[in-house]
Structure 1
Amino acid sequence: MAMKKLIILFLVTVSVWSINAQELSSPDGDLKMKFSLIENGSPAYQLFFKDKLVIKSSKLGLELVNDKKSLLDDFTIADSEVDSYNQTWKPVWGEVSEITNHYNELAITLQQNETDRIMIVRFRLFNDGLGFRYEFPQQKNLNYFTIKEEHTQFAMTGDHTAFWIPGDYDSQEYDYTESKLSEIRGLFDKALTDNASQEQFSKTGVQTALMMKTDEDLYINLHEAALIDYSLMNLNLDDQKFVFESWLTPDAQGNKGYLQAPCTSPWRTIMVSDKAEDILASPMILNLNEPCKIEDTSWIKPMKYVGVWWEMITGKSSWSYTNDFPAVKLGETDYENATPNGTHGATTEHVKEYIDFAAKHGFDGVLVEGWNEGWEDWFGQSKDYVFDFVSPYPDFDVEEIHEYAKSKGVKMIMHHETSSAVRNYERHLDTAYQFMKKYDYPAVKSGYVGDILPRGEHHYSQWIVNHYQYAVEKAAQYQIMVNAHEAVRPTGICRTYPNLIGNESARGTEFQAFGGSKPNHVTVLPFTRLLGGPMDYTPGIFEMDISKLNPNNNSHVNATIANQLALYVTMYSPLQMAADLPENYNRFPDAFQFIKDVAVDWDDSNYIEAEPGRYITIARKAKGTNDWFVGNVNGVEKRTSEISLDFLEQGKKYKATIYADAKNAHYKTNPQAYSITTKKVTHKSKLKLESAPGGGYAISIIEIK
């Protein structure tokens, strides 16, 4: 449906209540936005939900570098346009088979008096929130310009409870802290944990997506959408006035962005609801991105995979092939005559074992890390030429693995660790993707561990954001799916390029082997990180005591087995890993059955109950079937979950297999205690289940034909 200019004003409430102020309402009327020019011609907005003020008057604009006048004030309204849009579209993969994109729009054209420059602020108001961005049309007095800082404000109405991680230019791999806004400064240092690359900018700086809850039980989420050719936005809090302001990631020179008109900023987003489930269900971030640009998407296929990874993360195996060399140079190091270290995981015979396991249990793919030369000194050396992405170690036979996997009906998943040498990766990208096509690797897991090279750049600056986008678009040319780790957090670009089938970009399961994560971590991530796109969280760990894999690692996975099963539903990803070792799945074959059965692509999703940091229960309908899967993850307090199965089709009967925490289960003291029961259910059925601390439950609901 084409966008239509509104003639009948009652379709969208827009009224000129002063010469410099206008209003916009959401399609259902619950949200209302007010725009105005305040003192000195500064643009500002307010947001209301059900007549309650949610965002107080907040300024808009950009500060420029070495410019006689920034784009902050001295504006008049030159024009305003109102539109409405209502359309459904079908994602290539997703949590639902159709998405409704329904919003009302107000575009304010601002003209700066002194410079005669034009800046448009475009607002889109959905039933679930507000998106707005800056637009700079082609014009005589604004061509090339450099951002010193974007000064977008989000003025809160009080000292809300927030679920936050420290603002950082290089890392999102933090546990979430729950606190009042006024407490962030005092808790900031405690919220920091070590990482391979990190840089904070303020003791009150936090990252988006930022989830908050007010004392009046309103849920507010601040984020961004369509991060293209721009720096990632953090937020800096004035903890006296409770006003957040955008804080962009700088480049090596300290500048925040280089723009050329015509251009736009990413969308700044505010989700608001009195139901936490509405935040989880919101497609607003996706809707603010462009439609799919890949004409033929038939090659983009969700996958469930296993891999040689967890044994390396825990220290049971190594990425490197030999201990002979203190340093290596590709093309010069004599690997053929080196002594194998005996701990290398990516050997031909060992990988065949994983292929056999995948084939036996119906998994689509096998990921192998550490297969290629260069791992002996890959990290922390400011080394530009680290890997060439095509040269295997002597004990990894690419051709033999290819033929063996093909004979078993299993696809191999490539691994490209760049060591954050992004220039080197771009130089080798075509060759690496051609190598993948030759050996039939449909997907690549890329990594960006360590400080970015060129030196001084950050993981989330404009230049590096553009690199990630370049890699995804280049992969699309080769019909390759991308799962990027340590890259910029997703902002819905997977709608435009659905070959971006997964990202890490948050604290994933690997940190359970690096000292552990909070047991309620997975009850926060769907409210924050997952709003912009799926996460390769790598769930499915059954052996929680890491010392049983590596006696030198005393870490503990802070979850129960039932919780790990539930993650396949609550932590949405079309590229989903069963991360544990095959021998641990063989110990618990009845629990492993759920991982084998659960889908990776969905026709429908029902967000049954949710409270950030406490619990989440989601039901999803498997693509092309009448079967449902339910997942519940629980926080630190034992809880009874009561749910209705009214989402099931009336008149149908189903067999429910319930994988639940045992009565004495606990994430720390008894994580492997679970029970499995079956019962017949219909849409009238109700279930009452107990979730242990750090626990949960998973249910497969299969139609009885």
Structure 2
Amino acid sequence: MSTNEIDRRTFGKAAGVAGFTALAWSPGTAAQAAGEPITTSSPDGSITAQFRLQEGTPQYRITRGTQVVLDWSGMGFELGDRRLGEAAELVGIAHDELDETWRPVWGSSAEIRSHCRSTVVRLHEQVDFDVEFRVFDDGVGFRYFFPQQPDLGDFEVLDEHTEFRFTADHTAWSTPANYDSVEYLYTETPLTGAGKLHPWQEPREDAERLGDLATPLTLRVADDLYLAVHEAALLSYPDMTLTKIDGGPGLRSALVPRKGEGRRKALLRTPFPTPWRAFLIGREPGALVESNLVLNLNEPCAIEDTSWIAPGKFLGVWWEIHKGRNTWIEGPDLGASTENVLRAVDFAADNGIPYVLAEGWNKGWKTGGDFGDDQDFLTPNEQLDLRQVLDRCRERGVAFLAHNETGGGVDNYERQLDQAFALYAELGMPGVKTGYAGDIDAHHHHDQWMVEHYQRVIHKAARHRLLINAHEPIKGTGIERTYPNFVSREGARGIEYDAWSQGNPPEHTVTLPFTTMLAGPFDYTPGIFDITWFPPQSPQDDHGDSNDGTRVHTTRAHQLALYPVLLSGLQQLADVPEHYEGVPEFEFLRQVPVSWDETRVLHGEIGDFITMARRSGPAWFVGSLTDEQQRTLEIPLDFLGDGRYVAHFYRDAPGTDVETNPNEVEVDHRLVDASTVIRAELAGGGGHALHLAPAGQDDAHLPEYR
């Protein structure tokens, strides 16, 4: 077992192990033992999961109404020299119905109902193992469980044989699997062609770490049926990628291997539940975004006192480094100097932004990226007076977030973790942005050891009351329900690619809500106002000529509209302060929250456009985005309460053009009510942002929206 093993009690609580001990088992019938399906339906009866033994092979099937979502698909394991899934026998069945309403610490909704029917099937094939199904009105989850038993204590997983057999070559939105990165552009292809590189995607030199497909994988099963395949509650287990099954549009689980250990994927100890294999199902794409299935498959909050968990916006000494004006390394162009950081603190304080982060604040950065073993997470660089910065933060009511870029030096980070987190807590720093850029010599970023590393970080952070925003992380699987101090993760190809590569096409940000964001909140780092900014380049710039001619491929209004669309518990205002100063539309970023009481997808098509409305208290914020196509979208405001509201408009101006005039934003203020339908005119690559607040007497002079 790992020398850095997760505490078993902590793991058991997070994974829900205790629930298996309270089941009321009944023997299966002779017909069920011979292959008659065992059926579990959702509370509203619309979705059904079936399980059967087909000549000793466990199989499952999922339907919605009369439509087959997944046809009979096999299940099994290789556990060392044991093969499960060839001669399994039915031992018992347990049924239950779970119904609770819970309140997240933060997120898309003030409260969430979790209502499902469940079935647990106990099987025996050399050892006992269970398959548990939970069927909700918005999808299905199942997982495997290996109970504690005399013949199975510590064991190894060589492979997991979970199949996903589709009925046709559905349209899929996919990225390639990579054991070390999720930073890819999505492509829209038939399922049999899924996993290809997008034309804008730069070639990767790590082909040996590429698999077929990553999750979430989103599919259009029919015109009125959409599906996303993912996993939930990924704890102490490797990331599940997907590989194609020859001979048809089918897929099979492909676990990330432990680096340098041959076919071994995981070292486990009973009792052990695997992550859930999750299937989000909806009639339209927006239903997938509104689904809480992934969260509901995770265990309740494990942190008793959550009063210190405060999501918010932050300003970073960041974009100027990626654009080449400043550097991470010490010298005349260092970004994280005392002067620059104090300027950011003052700007944040003046504009109600609670947090500031400065990349390169600590000692150990070097040109060329090979610095992981040199990073000192306890000591500021020679050009940063950290005490002065923290004093200014306290005076101005702003908090300083630490940045821990490991550079792949994970062992170095583990050695400093306890002392560093204790120091940050003592100094009043409320959180940490971690980073794992670069190769990790002994591990893949997404293998079992690293999954447990991310768990250790979040556990230690919680003990010190620190928030975590992880970059180059493992993908999201909903564990922010259990550990709500895990407020964000990069988890996608972010806007930094617009600084030193061909960048992200406009379709990227209207694909991410229907794909990456199904896994949970993620830090895209939006908010670029000077779309084509190319500053003078530092001679020490680490990117060389990669910055030349780069730009963001949206309008400024699109950047504004990203904030109500993309969920992140720490949401960056990514541009430099001087690009926000004196700009009327910056008011939208000052006002927009990061945590919400209610979320609705008003309409959307994957990769084409989306409109999302989110409520915080009595105020609503609405974001509309389009791809490269100019569009007119109608936005009905029937979600508003009684009375009149002031609609603050931040939209593409008539003369806005993503290529020639991307920065122009039209700001307007009108009176609206629930009967109003907004006609949003979006330029190609454009956006439309609305802030809707209840009208007061002082607003009576404003014109009605026509």
TM (norm. structure 2) is: 0.90
Match of 1:246 in 2: 253
Which residue does 2:340 correspond to in 1? 350
Q: 2:606 aligns with which of 608, 612, 616?
A: 612
Structure 1 runs not aligned, ≥5 long: 8-14, 322-340
In the alignment, what sits opposite 1:52?
Answer: 67
State how far apart, in whole Å, the 2-side matches of 1:396 and 1:553 are.
29
Q: 1:627 aligns with which of 600, 608, 619?
A: 619
Match of 1:542 in 2: 529
Please say if 1:82 is aligned against 2:95: yes
Deviation at 1:663, TM superposition (A): 2.7
Label 1:153 to 1:191 Cα distance change in 2 as closer, same or farther (>3 A).
Answer: farther
- Structure 1 position 366, deviation (Å): 0.8
Give the letter for the 2:252 counterpart: E
2:703 maps to none
- Equivalent in the alignment of 1:64: 79
AA aligned opposite 1:584: H
User: Where does residue 670 of structure 1 map in the other structure?
Assistant: 661
Query: What secondary structure, in the 3-state scheme, does the structure 1 residue paired with 2:531 have?
Result: coil
Given that 1:60 and 1:151 are in contact with CA atoms closer than 8 Å, whether structure 2 keeps it comes out as yes
- TM norm structure 1: 0.91
Q: Is 1:261 aligned to 2:270, yes or no? A: yes
C-alpha offsets along residues 402-445 of structure 1, whole Å, 9 cap, x if unaligned? 11111111111110001121111111011111221222110110
SS in 1 for 2:213: strand
Match of residue 28 from structure 2: none
Instruction: Letter of the 2:92 partner, please give it.
Output: D
Residue 634 of structure 1 aligns with an amino acid whose one-letter code is T
User: In structure 1, how many angstroms separate the alpha carbons of the residues matched to 2:202 and 2:158?
Assistant: 29
CA distance in 2, matches of 1:618, 1:664: 25
How far residue 553 of structure 1 moved from its aligned partner, in angstroms, is 2.5
Q: Which residue identity does 2:104 align to in structure 1? A: P
Distance 1:549 1:627 in 2: 41
CA RMSD across the alignment: 2.1
Cα-to-partner distance string for 1:259-297 (whole Å, 9 max, x where unaligned): 111101100011111111110000110111110010000
Match of 1:360 in 2: 350
Aligned to 1:467: 453
Q: Does 2:23 align with 1:32?
A: no
8 Å contact kept, 2:325–2:535: no
Q: 1:685 to 1:18 in 2, by over 3 A?
A: farther
Q: Give the aligned residue type for 1:481.
A: L
Aligned to 2:9: none
CA–CA distance in 2 between the matches of 1:236 and 1:228? 21
- Listed one character per residue, the Cα deviations across residues 306-339 of structure 1 (whole Å, up to 9, x for unaligned) are 1101101111100000xxxxxxxxxxxxxxxxxx
2:420 — aligned with what?
Answer: 432
Residue 216 of structure 1: how far off its partner (Å): 3.5
Q: Give 2:12's aligned residue.
A: none
Counterparts of 1:195 and 1:491 in 2: how far apart (Å)? 25
SS at match of 2:332: coil
Which moves more between the two structures, 383-392 or 241-250?
383-392
Are the structure 2 counterparts of residues 197 and 581 from structure 1 closer, same or farther at C-alpha, using a change threshold of 3 Å? farther
Distance 1:250 1:17 in 2: 34
Query: 2: distance between equivalents of 1:441 and 1:535?
Result: 21
Identify the match of residue 682 of structure 1 among 666, 673, 677: 673
Q: Aligned partners of 2:198 and 2:645: how far apart in 1? A: 51
Pairwise CA distance, 1:143: 1.9
Contact 1:218 1:272 in 2 (8 A): yes
Once the two structures are TM-superposed, the CA of residue 45 in structure 1 deviates from its matched residue by 0.6
Change (3 A) 1:191 1:33: farther
Tell me if the contact between 1:16 and 1:23 (Cα under 8 Å) persists in the aligned partners.
no
Query: Are residue 563 (structure 1) and residue 558 (structure 2) matched?
Result: yes
Code of the aligned partner of 2:586: F
Residues 606-662 of structure 1: CA deviation (Å, up to 9, x unaligned): 21112111111111111xx21111011111211111121111112x21100111112
Local SS of the residue matching 1:404 = helix
Equivalent residues in 2 for 1:530-609, closer than 5 Å: 530-548=517-535, 550=537, 553-586=548-581, 589-609=583-603
| Counterpart residue type for residue 88 of structure 2 | F
Give the counterpart letter for 1:591 in structure 2.
E
Consecutive unaligned residues of structure 2, counting only runs of 5 or more, are: 1-17, 26-30, 538-544, 697-706
1:126-147 Cα offsets, whole Å, 9 max, x none, are 1111100000001122222211
- Contact preservation (8 Å) 2:286, 2:514: no
1:473-529 deviation digits (Å, cap 9, x = unpaired):
000000000000001011000000000011102111111112211211111111222
Aligned 1:322-337 pairs, distance under 5 A:
none
Cα distance in 2 between the residues matched to 1:422 and 1:575: 23
Deviations 1:98-147 (A, max 9, x none): 000000001110111xx2x1110000001111100000001122222211
Match of 1:524 in 2: 511
Q: For 2:444 and 2:139, locate their aligned partners in 1 and report how far apart those are by CA, in whole Å.
A: 30
**Is 1:699 aligned to residue 690 of structure 2?**
yes
What is the 5 A alignment of 1:100-139? 100-112=113-125, 115=126, 117-139=127-149
**AA of the residue aligned to 1:577:** Q
Shift of 1:678: 1.5
Residues in 1 aligned to 2:153 and 2:34: alpha-carbon distance in whole angstroms:
32
Match of 1:271 among 276, 280, 288: 280
Percent of aligned positions that are identical: 39
Q: Does the 8 Å CA contact 2:555/2:686 hold for their aligned counterparts?
A: yes
Task: Tell me, yes or no, if the aligned pair for 1:24 and 1:106 is still in contact at 8 Å.
Answer: yes
SS across alignment from 1:206: coil
Conserved in 2, the CA contact under 8 Å of 1:378 and 1:419?
no
Q: Name the counterpart of 1:324.
A: none
1:384 Cα deviation from its structure 2 partner: 5.7
- Which of 276, 291, 299 lines up with 1:290 in the alignment? 299
Return the letter of the residue paired with 2:445.
H
Q: CA deviation at 1:667?
A: 2.6
Letter in 1 for 2:70: I
| In 1, Cα distance between equivalents of 2:169 and 2:511 | 20
Change over 3 Å in CA distance of 1:6–1:618 after alignment to 2: farther
Deviation, 1:194, is 5.0
Rate the CA distance shift 1:195–1:372 in 2: closer, same or farther, 3 A.
farther
SS at match of 1:433: helix
Q: What code does the residue aligned with 2:566 have?
A: M
After the TM superposition, list the runs of 4 or more consecutive aligned residues in structure 1 that deviate by more than 6 angstroms: 2-7, 195-198
What does residue 437 of structure 2 align with?
Answer: 449
Q: How many angstroms does 1:373 deviate by? A: 1.3
- In the TM superposition, residue 546 of structure 1 has moved relative to its aligned partner by 3.7
Aligned equivalent of 2:634, options 632, 642, 646? 642
